[in-house]
């Protein structure tokens, strides 16, 4: 073997990269003194691109395929090297392999709450999170704008910047959407589409694209969610008394699950609430109160009749003065005696004002019951 053949064998013949990670976007091919043999084999697999950087300048970008590094398939690098004739001298360039496949299940989320004005609840604080997929659409631009001379660039190094872009535009869109909080779950797809369209130009400036963008959840603060849960419970219960029964049943269940937490006091409170519930349930059917239902302790005894209505008292106006009050029986005697006529003004508490006795529905019958005068003498 000649000295020249030994010298040729020291140079790299095959340039390739097999990725054994799931998060590496760019990997720099290792070489001694950046020396790459002219005519070497370059293997670029599917989902990859190879970028040549010569003396700090982007030279060539190779898509998937098998290449022999010669003048005919390296036009830019050939121009930079001024190779007018093909010969076997080595050249010094850096080779970066760029992973162009999709990187999936990348997460984003709001670090701080987003203040929004809800038409039903007023000012509210929202949090959101989701996922997205990312891929390198322009390897050359990505190398120039983001990677630089980084020999091993991973998704972790760019995901933070992408997450900031997403959250910034998501906050603006969600605050200006005017969608009620309770309806946001039904509009997740539309909101995700708006955010995706908004951030696409900014991401493209880095040589990237987001094939998919998803909003998984938009949530309220824990305190607000707890208040909504209670509101929903009250709606299911139907009214305040049923909600009280519901709350009492929950308290009794918790007391039963923790018998040592309160001792006899907890048991006594549970008995008291249980008796109160039993009494209310005895007075109520499954769909509401039972009319004239007796208390639980007196369920076998008939309910007493209601008290009689109070008899009205009447006042009489005569000669600019008032008399009374009189009962209706006393007025009947006055009619029989002739001292009360249908034209006499009378008044009782609750009436609109003074009125003729004959025009009052309650008193009109007593004027029709006046006994006839005694019969004329016989013969």
Whether 56 and 79 share a structural domain: yes
Beta strand 35-44 with 12-15 is: parallel
pLDDT grade for 156, boundaries at 50, 70 and 90: very high
Please, what sign has the CA dihedral across residues 87, 88, 92, 98?
Answer: positive
Element (H, E) at 284: strand 284-285
274 falls within a domain: no
Structure token pair of residue 336: 């029989």
- Rounded distance, CA 120 to CA 256, Å? 38
- Which of 69, 205, 208, 14 minimizes the C-alpha distance to 60? 69
Give the Cα separation of 163 and 86 in Å (integer). 48
Does 265 have pLDDT greater than 90?
no
Output the pLDDT for position 121: 80
Q: Are residues 30 and 137 in the same domain?
A: no
Q: Which of 64, 99, 134 is the last residue of a domain?
A: 99
Mean pLDDT score of the chain, rounded to an integer? Answer: 78
Could you list the residue range(s) of the whole structural domain that residue 91 is in? 3-99
- Contact partners, residue 83, CB within 8 Å, separation at least 6: 38, 71
pTM of the model: 0.56
Whether 202 shows a pLDDT value over 50: the answer reads yes
Taking the CA atoms of 188, 194, 197 and 202 in sequence, report the sign of the dihedral they define. Answer: negative
As a whole number of angstroms, the distance between CA 226 and CA 221 comes to 9
Our count of domains for the chain comes to 3
* Residue 78 structure tokens: 């050939």
Domain final position from 70, 99, 128: 99
Please tell me the predicted confidence (pLDDT) of residue 58. 87
CATH number at residue 143: 3.30.479.30
Q: If phi over 0 gives left and psi between -120 and 50 gives alpha, with beta otherwise, what is residue 82?
A: left
Q: Are residues 81 and 189 in the same domain?
A: no
88 and 143 co-located in one domain: no
84 and 135 housed in the same domain: no
Picking from 188, 191, 178, the residue whose alpha carbon sits closest to that of residue 217 is 188
State which of 188, 204, 220 marks the end of a domain.
220
**pLDDT attached to residue 255:** 67
Same domain, yes or no: 214 and 107: yes
CA 60/CA 74 separation, integer angstroms: 7
Find the mean pLDDT for residues 298-322: 74
Whether the predicted pLDDT of 6 surpasses 60: no
Residue 45 CA to its chain's centroid (Å): 45
Could you tell me if residue 302 is inside a domain?
A: no
Do residues 199 and 111 share a domain? Answer: yes
By mean pLDDT, which of 60-69, 294-303, 347-356 is the weakest? 294-303
| Contacts for 349 with CB less than 8 Å, ≥ 6 apart | 312, 313
Q: Mark whether 16 and 85 lie in a shared domain.
A: yes
The span from the CA of 191 to the CA of 356, in Å, is: 76
Q: Is the pLDDT of residue 19 over 70?
A: yes
d(C-alpha 258, C-alpha 67), whole Å: 75
Task: Report if residue 242 sits inside a domain.
Answer: no
Residue 374 has pLDDT above 60, yes or no: yes
Q: Please tell me whether residues 80 and 151 are part of one structural domain.
A: no
Given a cut of 90, whether residue 200 has pLDDT beyond it is yes
Average pLDDT over residues 135-149: 92
CATH number of the domain to which 323 belongs? 3.30.1490
> Residue range 64-78: average pLDDT?
75
Confidence category of residue 337, pLDDT binned at 50, 70, 90: confident
Are 75 and 136 in a shared domain? Answer: no
Residue 237 lies in a domain: no
In which band, very low, low, confident or very high, does the pLDDT at 56 lie, cut at 50, 70 and 90? confident
Higher-confidence position of 276 and 350:
350
How far apart are the C-alpha atoms of 13 and 8, rounded to whole Å?
Answer: 9
265 is a domain residue:
no
* 143 and 203 within one domain: yes
- By the 10 Å C-beta count (0-12 exposed, 13-18 middle, 19+ buried), 205 is classed as exposed
Q: Does 237 score more than 60 pLDDT?
A: no
pLDDT score for 85? 47
360 part of a folded domain: yes
Task: With respect to residue 291, please indicate whether it lies within any of the assigned structural domains.
Answer: no
Candidates 324, 328, 359, 327; CA nearest to 343 is: 359
Whether 137 and 40 map to the same domain: the answer is no
Burial of 251 (0-12, 13-18, 19+ CB in 10 A): middle
Question: Which are the contacts of 283, defined by CB distance < 8 A and separation ≥ 6?
Answer: 289, 290, 293, 294, 295, 296
Q: Please indicate, yes or no, if residue 277 is contained in any of the structural domains.
A: no
Q: What average pLDDT score do residues 285-308 get?
A: 57
pLDDT at 164: 92
**Pseudo-torsion of CA 263, 266, 267, 271, nearest 10°?**
170
In this prediction, residue 49 has a pLDDT band, given cuts at 50, 70 and 90, of very high
């Amino acid at each position: 073997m000649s000295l020249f053949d030994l010298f040729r064998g020291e140079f790299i013949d095959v340039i390739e990269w097999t990725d054994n990670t799931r998060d590496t976007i760019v990997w720099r091919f290792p070489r001694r003194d950046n020396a790459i043999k002219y005519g070497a084999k370059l293997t670029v697999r599917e989902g990859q691109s190879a970028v040549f950087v010569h003396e700090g300048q982007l030279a060539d970008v190779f898509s998937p395929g098998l290449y022999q590094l010669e003048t005919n398939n390296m036009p830019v690098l050939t121009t930079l090297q001024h190779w007018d004739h093909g010969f076997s001298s080595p050249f010094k360039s850096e080779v970066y392999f760029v992973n162009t496949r999709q990187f999936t299940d990348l997460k984003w989320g709001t670090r701080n709450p987003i203040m929004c004005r809800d038409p039903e609840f007023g000012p509210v604080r929202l949090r959101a999170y989701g996922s997205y997929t990312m891929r390198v659409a322009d390897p050359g631009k990505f190398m120039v704008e983001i990677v630089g001379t980084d020999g091993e660039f991973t998704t972790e190094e760019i995901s933070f910047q992408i997450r900031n872009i997403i959250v910034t535009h998501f906050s603006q869109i969600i605050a200006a959407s005017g969608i009620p909080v309770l309806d946001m779950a039904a509009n997740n797809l539309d909101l995700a589409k708006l955010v995706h369209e908004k951030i696409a130009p900014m991401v493209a400036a880095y040589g990237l694209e987001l094939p998919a963008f998803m909003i998984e959840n938009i949530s309220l603060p824990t305190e607000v969610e707890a208040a909504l849960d209670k509101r929903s419970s009250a709606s299911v219960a139907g009214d305040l008394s049923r909600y009280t029964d519901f709350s009492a049943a929950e308290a009794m269940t918790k007391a039963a699950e923790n018998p040592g937490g309160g001792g006899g006091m907890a048991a006594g409170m549970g008995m008291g609430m249980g008796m109160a519930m039993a009494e209310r349930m005895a007075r109520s059917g499954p769909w509401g109160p039972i009319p004239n239902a007796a208390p639980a302790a007196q369920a076998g005894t008939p309910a007493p009749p209601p008290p009689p209505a109070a008899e009205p008292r009447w006042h009489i106006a005569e000669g600019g003065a008032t008399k009374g009050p009189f009962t209706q029986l006393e007025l009947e005697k006055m009619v029989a005696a002739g001292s009360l006529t249908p034209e006499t003004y009378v008044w009782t508490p609750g009436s609109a004002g003074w009125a003729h006795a004959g025009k009052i529905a309650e008193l009109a019958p007593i004027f029709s019951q006046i006994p006839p005068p005694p019969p004329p003498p016989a013969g």
